[in-house]
Amino acid sequence: MPEAPEVSIAAASEGGYPVLKEDLSPAGAGVPTFKHSRLQRLADRWAHLGFLICSLLVVGLIGGILYFLATRGLAAFLPLAGNTGRALSFSEVFLSADWAPSSDRFGILPFIAGSLGVTGLALLIAAPAGILTGVFIAKMAPAWMRNLMRQVMDLLVGIPSVVYGIFGLTVVLPLVSRTWLADAPASGFAVSALILAVMIVPTIVSLSTDAFESLPAALDEGAQALGSSRWQAIWRVLIPAARPRLLTATVLGLGRAIGEAMAVQMVIGNNPQWMALMRESTDRAPFLRALFTPAATLTTELVQELPNTAAGSTWNNVLFAMGLLLYLLTMVLILATRRLGRGKEA
């Protein structure tokens, strides 16, 4: 970034503009001031207003989404006039695993746990693989391989989620079921997480490649001058130095994974009762069994049930509360990346 001049005389002298010191403004002492026609000045001011309105629209959208989701999502907990059902308490929704909407029981814990589970598993694969691929692209690969990897990641990120879903459904599920499960159905956390991992890996790769490329060259050179091997320099110097931005990359990957709906919905099996199923199972390897138990997440349940519920019903309101939860989670994650970014400068 070139040094920003403190005051911009030309802008300040021109018809009541605030003093701006940004990139596209006329700037610097000694810049001649021009007399612009009235029309020019008018156009300038109206354009400024127009651009401002566009930006405010974006800000308004953030608030608008929150407002509308909250009016519907919180309606489940409030005794409002339009509600057809009773008002629920927070604990019977967020702390209960009992999801039986037709019997008036709305515990969404299975979906929260499902989202966390499948996201966690996906990150377990995608974070190490993505970060290592990032360092490979930035610090090890020859130029042709770097270009190839960029193109591969561009294509992977561009594939629509329904196509990932159909691939999972028609290729991965039958394959896993045939080879490992003696033809038992394979839908559940394992395959969902695998598909999700491939979907979020481009995000993690591109952000961590940037992170490694923006490290000062002296770090790498210094490590090598002190006699470290390629891998030692990567493991002991480069990865620790890039850690804040690698964490940011992982958090953004997490955000993408937790919000993905269609691909997961097509392979996870959509069983809201998965926690009960697990509890009753007498399996000796419950964790392994959980990987191939049909389950459900916040997003998949929304896709699955939203079309079948009437607006204003408690069931419908609880589904919107799940959407609100996802949105709030997004906000928390973005704020977390800000925190991480600030840690880097300190």
Partner 1 sequence: MNAAVPVFRRSRTSKVVDRLMRGVLWAIALAFVAVLILFVGAILKQGWPVLNLGFLTKMSETLDAGGGIKPQIFNSIYLVVLSLGISLPVGLGAGIYMAAYAGQGRALRFLRLCIETLAATPSIVLALFGMIVFVQAMGWSFSIRSGALTLALLNIPVITRVTEVSLLAVPRELKEASYGLGATKLQTILKVALPYAATGILTGLVLTAGRAFGESAILVFTAGTNASAQFPDFRLTVPGETLSVHLWYVTSDGTLPDAREIAAGTAAVMILVLLTLNLLVRLVDRAIRRRTR
Residues 168-187 that bind partner 1 (CB under 8 A): 169-171
Sole window of 59-67, 105-113, 178-186, 271-279 interacting with partner 1 (rule: CB under 8 A): 59-67
Q: Is 163 in the site for partner 1 (CB under 8 A)?
A: yes
Name the residue nearer to partner 1 (CB basis): 288 or 311: 311
- Residue 339 lies near partner 1 (rule: CB under 8 A): no
Stretch that binds partner 1, among 106-114, 145-153, 273-281, 285-293 (CB under 8 A): 145-153
Residue 25 engages partner 1 in binding (rule: CB under 8 A): yes
Q: Is residue 162 within the footprint of partner 1 (CB under 8 A)? A: yes
Return d(Cα 207, Cα 218) in angstroms, integer. Answer: 21
Q: First vs last Cα of the chain: how many Å apart? A: 20
The residue (of 245 and 290) whose beta carbon lies closer to partner 1 is 245
Which residues in 238-257 contact partner 1 (CB under 8 A)?
Answer: 252, 255-256
Binding segment toward partner 1, per CB under 8 A, in 49-57, 116-124, 180-188, 239-247: 49-57
- Residue 6: CB atoms within 10 A of its CB come to 10
Binding of partner 1 at residue 62 (CB under 8 A)?
yes
| Close Cβ partners of 154 (under 8 Å, ≥ 6 residues apart) | 202
Which one, of 195, 75, 176, 62, lies nearest residue 126 by Cα? 195
User: Taking a C-beta distance cutoff of 8 angstroms, is the pair 25, 42 a contact?
Assistant: no
Strand ranges in the chain using DSSP code E only, listed in sequence order: 99-100, 105-106
- Give the torsion sign (CA, 22, 24, 25, 31): positive
Does 283 interact with partner 1 (rule: CB under 8 A)?
A: no
Identify how many contiguous H helices and E strands the chain contains and give both numbers. Answer: 17, 2
**Helix, strand, coil share (%) of the chain residues, nearest 5:** 70, 0, 25
Residues in 304-333 that interact with partner 1 by CB under 8 A: 306-307, 311, 320, 323, 326-327, 330-331, 333
Binding to partner 1 by CB under 8 A, coded x per residue (else -) over 182-221, reads ----------------x--x--------------------
